[in-house]
C-alpha cells in the first residue's frame, strides 16, 4: 500500500509509492530511449493493459478488443491505489495517509505513430471529451478531492511509453500548488470583485505582444512571468471555473487551438518534448467566480537545476514576448 | 538589463534574463556532453574568467594568476546584474523590478579532475568557508535580501561546465519557497515554542530508520517526505538559524559529513549527478529561534514530469527508509 506523506514544514504532500519501488540499480541511464519493441497501447494488444474504464468505439466492437478510437485504462503501475478506505494517521510529529486514489491512462489513438500535433483534430476533440467523461465519473467517488489531468510527451518530459497518451490522477487531497493558485485568485477577487484570469485575458488581448493564437472561445498566449522558455497558457475567453463545464462548440474550439499551438511549438522548436497540465477548480467549490480553468503547456528545453529547486525562483532565458513572436509567426 | 517578474496569481518571481537570451535553435540536445576541450576554471586560465572577488592562495601568488586553492569569480553569463539601483515597477496588472543581484561562481579546486566527493576534505572545508565569506561580504549591500548557495554536479543536474564548482545568487527579494519554509517553521514555533527542525532531529535520532550519518555537530538523514529518491538533508544538531554562524569546528565537521554523504551516494548510485542547496534565514531576521539552517541534497535520478510540475505533488519511487538503509550500509 503506498503512502501519502506530508512535509511538516511547508505542507507539501508526497506519494511514497512502494508498488513502483526501485532499488538503486533500477534507475535508467539518462539518455536511454525505448524506441521500438512491443507497445501495450497499440490496437491488437488490448489484453496487455488492465480492462478499459472508458472507450470510444466503432459500432459492433467489443470492450477490450480492437475497433476503438480512444481507450482509458487504469495505469498498470499506479502511483495510487483505488481500493480501500481513506485513513489519515500520525507518526510522531509527522502526518500521513494511505495512498488511495485513481491513476488512469488515456490512450489517445490506436496508431503508434500518430502524435497529438499531427492527428486528425477530431481525435484531439475526443481526447478532450474523455478527460471530461472521466472527471465526471470519478467525481462521484467522495474520497476524491481533486483530479489532475496531464500529458507527458517525449522521454525527457517523463513519458515512459512513446505511444501518444495522457494521464489523470484522482487525489484524496487538493495539491498544495492548486490551493496556492486558487487562494491567489480568491484574494484578487476579494479585493477587486473581478477574476484575475479575466483581467489577464483583457490585458493580453489589448497589448498583443504575448498572444500566440485565438479563436472564438479560446486564447493561447505566453504568460507574463513564465517559468520555462516557450511556456504557453490556453484559456477560455468567457469565465469558467471548471474544465467540465464546456459546451460541444467549446471543446471543438479547444481542440483546434490546442493542436494549433502544438503545431507552432513543433515548427519553432523542432518537435520538442513537452508537458501540459489542466488547471481546474477543486470539487468542493467547483463553480465559482474567482478561478478560471486553463491549460499550462511547457516544452521541455532546459534542465531544471539546483537554483530552481532551491528557491522556486526560475531562470528563464527567453522573454515571453520573443517566444510569442516566434510562435505567432510560425507557418503552420 | 534582465527583469524580475512576478506571477500575479501565486506570487512566484521569475528572472527574465536577456543576457542569457536564447533563440529556439540555441537549445542543446538533451544528451549532449561537454567533455574535454578548453576549461576556463583550470589553473593557468585565470584570465578567461572575470576578475576574482575572493581567492584562497599560497603566499606570494598574485590575484588572477596561478597559485590558488579556491577562487570566487562573477558568473560570466549572470542571471542578474550587480550594477544599478533597484527599481520596482508596474505594467498594467503586472508587477516587475529590474534584475539587480549578484551571481558568482565558486571554483572549488584548480584540478579539473577533482570532485567534491573525492577531494581532500580540507578543500571541502575551504569551499564551506568561501560560502560564508561571500555571504558576509554581500550582506553589506542593502539591496540584497537573500543569498542562495547551491551546487549543480553533472550536466543533467544543470552544470554547464564539468570542473567542480558551486554558485551563489544574491537576490533583491526573498524567494517564495524560502518564505514558505520560514513561515511554516514560524507557525510551528508559535504553536509549540519549539523549532520544528530540532523536533525532527530528535525524532530521527530516536527512530533511526532514516539516519544516514552523524558526527559531533551534524546529522545526515533521509527526510520523512522526500520529493526525490535518495534525497538527503544535512543539519546542525544544535539550533542555528543561519549558515554563517558556525564555528571553525563546525565547518570542519560539516565538511566531513557532507563529503561522507556524497561518498555514500557515489557508492550506492554509481556517481550520480546531484544538486544541493543551502537553506538559511533571510537577512532581515537572521538570528531567530524558529528556523534552522540546513543543506538539502538531491541526486538527479528521475525526470520530473507533468504531474509534479502541475501539482507540486511529487511521486517518489523510493521510500526514505530504504534509501537511508542503502546509504547507511554502503562501504566508504
Inter-chain contact A313–B177, Cβ cutoff 8 Å?
A: yes
> Which pLDDT score, from 0 to 100, does residue A11 have?
65
Q: Is the pLDDT of residue B284 over 70?
A: yes
- The residue among B89 and A66 whose pLDDT is bigger is A66
| Pair (A185, A56) in one structural domain | no
Angle among Cα B188, B189, B190 to the nearest 5 degrees reads 95
User: Residue A332, SS3?
Assistant: coil
Query: A104 in a domain, yes or no?
Result: yes
Q: Is the pLDDT of residue B29 over 50?
A: no
Chain B residues lying within 8 Å of A5, measured CB to CB: 224-225
Residue A233, CB half-sphere, CA atoms under 13 Å: how many? 21
The H or E element spanning position B236 is: strand B232-236
Closest CA to A135 of A286, A1, A239: A286
Range of B324's domain?
177-329
User: Residue B153, SS3?
Assistant: strand
Query: B30 in a domain, yes or no?
Result: no
Domain boundary among A174, A207, A224: A174
| Pair (A181, A167) in one structural domain | no
| Pair (A312, A283) in one structural domain | yes
Identify each DSSP E strand in A173-226 by its residue range: 211-214, 218-221
Q: Find out whether A299 and A228 touch, Cβ atoms under 8 Å.
A: yes
| Pair (B60, B207) in one structural domain | no
- Write the CB contacts of A83 (distance below 8 Å, at least 6 apart in sequence): none
Domain boundary among A117, A139, A174: A174
List Cβ<8 Å contacts ≥24 apart for B122-128.
Answer: B122/B255, B123/B69, B123/B70, B124/B255, B124/B258, B124/B259, B125/B251, B125/B252, B125/B254, B125/B255, B126/B56, B126/B69, B126/B70, B127/B70, B127/B166, B127/B255, B128/B251, B128/B254, B128/B255, B128/B258
Domain boundary among A139, A174, A209: A174
pTM, two decimal places? 0.90
From B103, B112, B163, B165, the catalytic residue: B165
| Pair (B153, B226) in one structural domain | no
CATH of the domain at B192: 3.30.428.10
| Pair (B138, B285) in one structural domain | no
| Closest Cα in chain A to B312 | A177
Inter-chain contact A275–B309, Cβ cutoff 8 Å?
A: yes
Closest CA to B305 of B241, B227, B207: B227
Query: pLDDT per residue over A99-121, tens digit each?
Result: 888 999 999 999 999 999 999 99
Query: A24 in a domain, yes or no?
Result: no
> Which pLDDT score, from 0 to 100, does residue B24 have?
57
Query: A31 in a domain, yes or no?
Result: no
| Pair (B106, B182) in one structural domain | no
| Pair (A158, A182) in one structural domain | no
Residue among A196, A312, A322 whose CB faces B177 most closely:
A312
Centre a 10 Å sphere on the Cβ of residue B63 and count the other Cβ atoms it contains.
12
Q: What is the DSSP letter of A158?
A: T
Query: pLDDT per residue over B172-202, tens digit each?
Result: 888 888 888 899 999 999 999 999 999 999 9
Residue among B92, B148, B318 whose CB faces A307 most closely:
B148
| Residue B289 binned pLDDT confidence (cut-offs 50, 70, 90) | very high
The pLDDT of B68-91, averaged and rounded, is 88
Query: A12 in a domain, yes or no?
Result: yes
> Which pLDDT score, from 0 to 100, does residue B32 have?
37
Query: B28 in a domain, yes or no?
Result: no
Active site residues of A: 165
End-to-end CA distance of chain B: 48
| Pair (B132, B224) in one structural domain | no
> Which parts of chain A register pLDDT below 50?
20-22, 28-34
Chain A residues lying within 8 Å of B91, measured CB to CB: 224
Query: B185 in a domain, yes or no?
Result: yes
Query: B43 in a domain, yes or no?
Result: yes
Q: In percent, how much of chain B has pLDDT > 90?
A: 63
| Pair (A244, A136) in one structural domain | no
- The residue among B295 and A158 whose pLDDT is bigger is B295
Residue among B14, B184, B207 whose CB faces A9 most closely:
B184
Q: Is the pLDDT of residue B64 over 80?
A: yes
> Which pLDDT score, from 0 to 100, does residue A28 have?
47
> Which pLDDT score, from 0 to 100, does residue B331 have?
92
Chain B residues lying within 8 Å of A207, measured CB to CB: 92
| Pair (B167, B204) in one structural domain | no
Centre a 10 Å sphere on the Cβ of residue A95 and count the other Cβ atoms it contains.
18
| Pair (A75, A184) in one structural domain | no
ipTM of the assembly? 0.86
Task: Please state the domain count of chain B.
Answer: 2
Q: Is A330 exposed, middle or buried (0-12, 13-18, 19+ CB in 10 A)?
A: middle
> Which pLDDT score, from 0 to 100, does residue A81 have?
82
Amino acid at each position: 500500500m503506498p503512502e501519502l506523506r506530508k512535509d511538516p514544514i511547508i505542507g507539501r504532500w508526497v506519494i511514497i509509492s512502494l508498488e513502483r519501488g526501485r532499488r538503486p540499480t533500477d534507475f535508467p541511464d539518462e539518455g536511454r530511449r525505448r524506441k521500438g519493441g512491443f507497445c501495450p497501447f497499440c490496437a491488437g494488444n488490448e489484453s496487455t493493459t488492465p480492462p478499459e474504464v472508458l472507450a470510444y468505439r466503432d459500432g459492433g466492437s467489443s470492450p477490450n478488443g480492437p475497433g476503438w478510437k480512444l481507450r482509458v485504462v487504469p495505469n498498470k503501475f499506479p502511483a495510487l491505489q483505488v481500493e480501500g478506505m481513506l485513513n489519515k494517521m500520525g507518526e510522531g510529529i509527522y502526518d500521513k495517509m494511505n495512498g488511495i486514489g485513481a491513476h488512469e491512462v488515456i490512450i489517445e489513438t490506436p496508431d503508434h505513430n500518430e502524435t497529438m500535433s499531427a492527428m486528425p483534430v477530431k481525435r484531439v476533440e475526443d481526447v478532450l471529451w474523455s478527460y471530461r467523461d472521466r472527471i465526471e465519473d470519478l467525481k462521484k467517488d467522495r474520497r476524491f478531492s481533486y483530479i489532475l489531468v496531464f500529458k507527458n510527451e517525449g522521454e525527457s518530459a517523463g513519458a515512459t511509453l512513446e505511444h501518444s497518451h495522457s494521464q489523470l490522477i484522482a487525489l484524496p487531497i487538493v495539491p498544495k500548488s492548486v490551493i496556492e493558485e486558487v487562494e491567489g485568485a480568491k484574494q484578487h477577487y476579494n479585493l477587486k470583485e473581478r477574476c484575475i484570469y479575466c483581467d489577464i485575458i483583457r490585458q493580453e488581448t489589448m497589448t498583443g505582444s504575448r498572444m500566440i493564437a485565438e479563436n472564438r472561445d479560446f486564447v493561447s498566449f505566453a504568460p507574463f512571468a513564465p517559468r520555462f522558455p516557450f511556456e504557453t497558457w490556453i484559456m477560455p475567453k468567457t469565465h469558467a471555473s471548471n474544465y467540465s463545464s464546456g459546451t460541444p462548440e467549446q471543446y471543438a474550439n479547444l481542440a483546434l487551438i490546442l493542436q494549433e499551438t502544438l503545431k507552432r511549438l513543433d515548427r519553432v522548436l523542432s518537435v520538442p518534448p513537452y508537458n501540459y497540465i489542466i488547471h481546474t477548480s477543486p470539487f468542493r467549490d467547483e463553480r465559482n467566480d474567482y478561478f478560471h480553468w486553463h491549460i499550462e503547456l511547457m516544452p521541455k528545453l532546459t534542465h531544471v537545476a539546483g537554483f530552481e529547486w532551491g528557491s522556486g525562483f526560475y531562470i528563464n532565458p527567453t522573454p515571453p514576448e520573443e517566444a510569442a513572436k516566434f510562435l505567432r509567426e510560425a507557418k503552420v
